[in-house]
Chains A and B, each alone.
Chain A
Amino acid sequence: MSKIGVFVCHCGENISATVDCAKVAETAGKYDGVTFSVDYKYMCSDPGQTLIKNAIAEKGLTGVVVAACSPRMHEPTFRKACAEAGLNPYMCEMANLREHCSWVHEKGDPTTDKAIDLVRVLVEKVKYNQSLNAIKVPVTKTALVIGGGIAGIQASLDIANTGHKVILIEKDPSIGGHMSQLSETFPTLDCSQCILTPRMVEVAQHPNITLYTYAELESLEGFIGNFKAKIRRKSKSLDEKLCTGCGLCTTKCPSKKIPSEFNEGLGMRTAIYVPFPQAVPNKPVIDRKNCTYYTKGKCRICEKVCPTGAIRFDQEDQIVEVEVGAIVLATGFTIKQTDFFPEYGYGKHPDIITGLQFERLASASGPTLGEIRRPSDGKVPQTIVFLSCAGSRDEAKGIPYCSKICCMYIAKHAMLYQHKVHGGKSYVFYMDIRAGGKMYEEFVRRAIEDDGVNYVRGRVSRIYEKNGKLIVKGADTLLGAMPVEIEADMVVLATAGVANEGAEELAQKLHVSYDPYHFFAEAHPKLKPVETNTAGIFLAGACQAPRDIPESVSMASGAAVKVAGLFSQDELTREPLIAVVNRQPAPVYSSCVGCFLCVSACPYQAIEKEEIKDRSGAVIKRVAKVNPGLCQGCGTCVAFCRTKSIDIQGYTHEQMYSEVMALLNEY
């Protein structure tokens, strides 16, 4: 016979203001199996916990129901109190009288009746609770960082510097990400590559970092502390050990007219290429889609010229399997291209460019060696127009959010233009200037006041070409929506920052949630900004939302600390609330019929096949077996099992049934 104690908490007035707690305790005290029932103002306080502990000791309680708040916060508190009093912690259950009752209903008898129901349900459940023991799992102290932009670089270095191993994978041939494409950075105007490339080199040389460029995540299995990742190392068609990075192949390659991704299509590259001179690793890859040998079957010039014989045309993709304990997602973002904007010419005009293309024009390593020249004819534009919020903050375009970085980089662009083209005229069309950040507002004022950039508040309705000029038609809303028409030589669209293509599939591979715009979702917008809902997977940088460099870096360091914290433990304790396939006396052994349909239903690959053998080793029956290390207790297999052979510990069929029947049966 159960001896259950019911402890009803007032939660100050949070519960008692609408629920008659004394009545709940009194009613619960009359139920079969309840030997002790009491209400108290703050059950989570020290005296409250002592009340529970004393009752366990004095009344010999076999089960405890705490009727208080959501178990999310205080279930560990009360389970710990029970354990301290010698009761198995999993014999303690919480009825949520606050969020599920007092906070959502008005004061009155029906509210108290509902509270009574909630308690009764748990009393009936606790009768079927069984003692459980926490599961200990080891931690693999290696981190996987996905994405080698500034966020991934920072996270890798920070984790590696705590003494733990890091595997950094980057899908492009070089690490560096968008930051390596930038000319100067706001608000200091220091050169982006100058501050980034030393970090890139540090990554390559760090003894704790294994760098896989031109590699992507193929699949992920496992759970916090014990992930198994498959990494696809795309074939570079190159023996990296032999290659010295001399670059002879890239100068001799006959396919020279391939738009360079690094230069945002404003420059050309060869089919065997290093994206940019400071690339890490500084060794080429063959772009098989554009290589003459792969497309037409003839050429192999690079192979002939290579002094070390490093070219490998028959090299295949390689799958590397790694075991990691934590993952940092730093896959970054992308921007909308100009073809997204019918009103601005569908991207057909070469002199209407994106902000990232302007970065390349302004960059000393860019196609014009840092001179601002129009892509169409190479002339220096005398009048230039910058458009902020191209796509962003526009519900009609499906991007209602602010891309955040544009206001600042447009101010920088305009400033750089004024510095480089003396006497040139620059205009910025803006909706609002969002310059929240240290030294940011001062930076924008400098552009307007010192460098003479013309800021026009209003949106541009249309851009079209007329007599070799780009006619920008807009309105100045500060002058009563007065129409403004500017004859420009070049237009820069600050196009919206959006999630990477394939972000959704990656999120599904990793079982992390994402928002409607396919940016990865943090676990809590304020208090858990670098965690995801999947334990052991963290976020850094613009894969979570558009972010500037300082934010990406601080987020990366934050994620690195979370990883280091996780790696500071040798073992993780896991809740034993996992699925178990039943065992029965011979000749049945288990009601499982071994159809193994649960195997494909399990999202965590936690179900294996097990052979039940007799003493001589002959197989009597094949049944499913749940790996306790992998099972997350989601219950999908339980719902899927036709014979009801699987139970979730702590939520067994008997427990759930008794809860339902407690509600259905009249008391």
Chain B
Amino acid sequence: MDELRKKAGELLEASAVKVIIGYENGSDGKTRALFAEKPEETARLVFDSRCVMNLATYVTKKEVRNKGRIGLVATLPVMRAVIQLASEHQVDDAGLLVIGITPESKMVEFKDLAEVEAFVHRYQIEIDSKQKEMLDKLEKMTPSERWDFWIRELTPCFKCYACRAACPMCYCHRCTVDFNQPQWVPVPSHELGNIEWHIMRAIHLAGRCVDCDACYNACPLAIPLNLLTKRMLLDAKEHLGGYQPSIKADHLMSTYKPDDKDNFII
């Protein structure tokens, strides 16, 4: 922890970055994002098991970018998000420096995003066993049972868009739901509007979702919407050679190989 504070302070002191994004203690025993612009503010940095929010979501925000180069305290899922964002040309070395935290909670320094990528590639994205169990259960249902499950889960959604705000991949200036000429996805939070929003959100994350669960953690109704993206990750693993964010590689969904399988199409 001290190591992290020290490093962050040094970076600001040396003007290597203009703002450090990390975690600090918030209300109610929870942590929240800290935007430290002065070296002394880095004393507020904390890191522990409560820090699950994906801070990569801030690096694409104009308000933050305008401050100058960002130093980002990044856990493994956050680093994955950063690499995916780099592959989508949203971040680069000039605008972002990653201060990594390993799964063993050790601080690790990176010179550039290429090093971050190399670190990320040491780990595979694994769906945890509890979620896998739930996915298997869904898989065993008949299509109509599964449909009922999702109607039941998604009907209460009141479209606060916390999932969108928490997701580092939802950085578009104009979301499809905000596209109103024509309004393809209905705005009201009725059954149809909710289903359309959640299916669209999941599909837009196909081949991009880094499985950080920020959407699920942000949802005030605890809707298991991350099951949709996890299912796609499993499909990608089973049929398309798996997904791993990568700066240079082509996008999983937009590349075609003659030996691609299409047996997952119902």
Residues of A participating in the B interface, judged by any CB pair closer than 8 Å: 504-505, 508, 588, 591, 593-598, 600-601, 603, 622, 640, 642-645, 653-654, 657-658, 661
Chain B interface residue count, Cβ-Cβ cutoff 8 angstroms? 21
Contact A657 B172 (CB under 8 A): no
* A598–B89 CA distance with the chains assembled, in angstroms: 12
Out of B182, B250, B253, which one reaches A658, CB within 8 Å? B182
Given contacts A505-B258, A601-B251, contact A595 B89 (CB under 8 A): yes
* A609–B125 CA distance with the chains assembled, in angstroms: 31
Contact B172 A508 (CB under 8 A): no
Contact A654 B182 (CB under 8 A): yes
Given contacts A596-B89, A597-B254, A600-B254, contact A643 B182 (CB under 8 A): no
B173 within 8 A of A: yes
From residue B60, how far is it (CB to closest CB) to chain A in Å? 9
Interface 1/0 per residue, B172-201 and A, CB below 8 Å: 111110010110100000000000000000
Contact B255 A600 (CB under 8 A): yes
Contact A644 B184 (CB under 8 A): yes
Out of A505, A622, A654, which one reaches B181, CB within 8 Å? A654
Q: Which residue of B lies closest to A596 (CB)?
A: B89
* A199–B17 CA distance with the chains assembled, in angstroms: 72
With a cutoff of 8 Å between Cβ atoms, the chain A residues found around residue B174 in the complex are: 588, 591, 643-645
* A593–B61 CA distance with the chains assembled, in angstroms: 12
Contact B182 A595 (CB under 8 A): no
Contact A657 B258 (CB under 8 A): no
Out of A508, A595, A643, which one reaches B258, CB within 8 Å? A508
With a cutoff of 8 Å between Cβ atoms, the chain B residues found around residue A601 in the complex are: 251, 253-254
Q: Which of B37-94 contact A (CB under 8 A)?
A: 88-90
B106 within 8 A of A: no
Main secondary structure of the interface of B (DSSP, over half): loop
Total inter-chain residue pairs, C-beta < 8 Å: 60
Contact B204 A642 (CB under 8 A): yes
Contact B172 A597 (CB under 8 A): no
Given pairs A595-B89, A598-B254, 4 additional interface contacts (CB within 8 A): A593-B90, A601-B253, A642-B176, A657-B182
B119 within 8 A of A: no
Q: Which of B201-232 contact A (CB under 8 A)?
A: 204
Out of A504, A505, A643, A661, which one reaches B176, CB within 8 Å? A643
With a cutoff of 8 Å between Cβ atoms, the chain A residues found around residue B89 in the complex are: 594-596, 622
With a cutoff of 8 Å between Cβ atoms, the chain B residues found around residue A644 in the complex are: 174, 176, 179, 184
From residue B161, how far is it (CB to closest CB) to chain A in Å? 15
* A505–B251 CA distance with the chains assembled, in angstroms: 21
Out of B90, B172, B255, which one reaches A643, CB within 8 Å? B172
B171 within 8 A of A: yes
Contact A593 B204 (CB under 8 A): no
* A645–B174 CA distance with the chains assembled, in angstroms: 9
Contact B88 A643 (CB under 8 A): no
* A658–B174 CA distance with the chains assembled, in angstroms: 21
* A598–B250 CA distance with the chains assembled, in angstroms: 10
- Sort A-B residue pairs by CB-CB distance and give the 3 closest, nearest first: A601-B254, A657-B182, A595-B88
Can you list 19 contacts pairing A with B, beta carbon distance less than 8 Å?
A504-B258, A591-B179, A593-B90, A593-B173, A594-B89, A595-B90, A597-B251, A597-B254, A598-B254, A600-B255, A601-B253, A622-B89, A640-B253, A642-B204, A643-B173, A643-B174, A644-B176, A645-B174, A657-B184
Out of B90, B173, B204, which one reaches A591, CB within 8 Å? B173
Q: Which residue of A lies closest to B183 (CB)?
A: A657
With a cutoff of 8 Å between Cβ atoms, the chain B residues found around residue A640 in the complex are: 253-254
* A594–B87 CA distance with the chains assembled, in angstroms: 11
Contact A642 B172 (CB under 8 A): yes
With a cutoff of 8 Å between Cβ atoms, the chain B residues found around residue A658 in the complex are: 182
* A654–B179 CA distance with the chains assembled, in angstroms: 11
Out of B171, B250, B258, which one reaches A593, CB within 8 Å? B171
